[in-house]
Amino acid sequence: MSTLTVSFSELSKNSKRVADTVERAQRVHVTRRDGEDLYLTTERHDRQREETADVTARLFAALIASDEGARAVLLALPAVFPWTRHLSAAEVREFVVDLVDATRDVVELDVHAGLHRVIAEWRATARVLADPELAAELTRPLPGDDHGEVVEP
């Protein structure tokens, strides 16, 4: 999907024209020199995105609720996340549960960072497991004495 792009200065100088563009395109990327880029969208487009997320989360949760559906998800997972081939069967199941929970949080709590975090953390785990030397290094016992209890931050 191609998103139209305008500069922040164009938005401030020609806000009516940019608003008309948003109405037609439903979403416009606004670039900024002094901060994070923005997206302008219509309310309708935002509602549709929320509905899409809701349907996806519910469908995903319904699928893994049955053995047949869970098998289908597990079989489809490598096409979506090829790196899951480096995870054990138990780790893949744990990833799916984490993924479904995070997807529900997107819908129910409007928390999107958790979904990104789940994917990034499991991909990092797969990256370590894909390198036998790195995996051995990171899973070997630490040398030396016990340094005591780790205090929760």
Longest dimension (CA), the chain: 68
Q: How far apart are CA 9 and CA 30, in angstroms?
A: 9
Beta strand pairing status for 27-31 and 38-41?
antiparallel
- Quick check: 142 pLDDT over 60? yes
Helix, coil or strand: residue 44: helix
Of 142 and 126, the one with more pLDDT: 126
Q: How many CB atoms neighbour CB 65 within 10 A?
A: 10
Cα dihedral 13, 17, 19, 25 sign: negative
Beta bridge partners of 27: 41
Mean pLDDT of the chain: 91
Identify the weakest region by mean pLDDT among 26-30, 73-77, 135-139.
135-139
Of all residues in the chain, the percent with pLDDT exceeding 90 is 71
Contacts of 113 (CB under 8 A, 6+ apart): none
Q: How far apart are CA 123 and CA 59, in angstroms?
A: 23
Closest CA to 107 of 27, 64, 49, 66: 49
pLDDT tens, 79-94?
Answer: 999 999 999 999 999 9
Tokens of 25: 């395109």
What is this structure's pTM? 0.74
- 87: Cα within 13 Å, side-chain hemisphere: 21
Q: How far apart are CA 50 and CA 28, in angstroms?
A: 18
Give the pLDDT confidence score for residue 84 in this predicted structure: 97
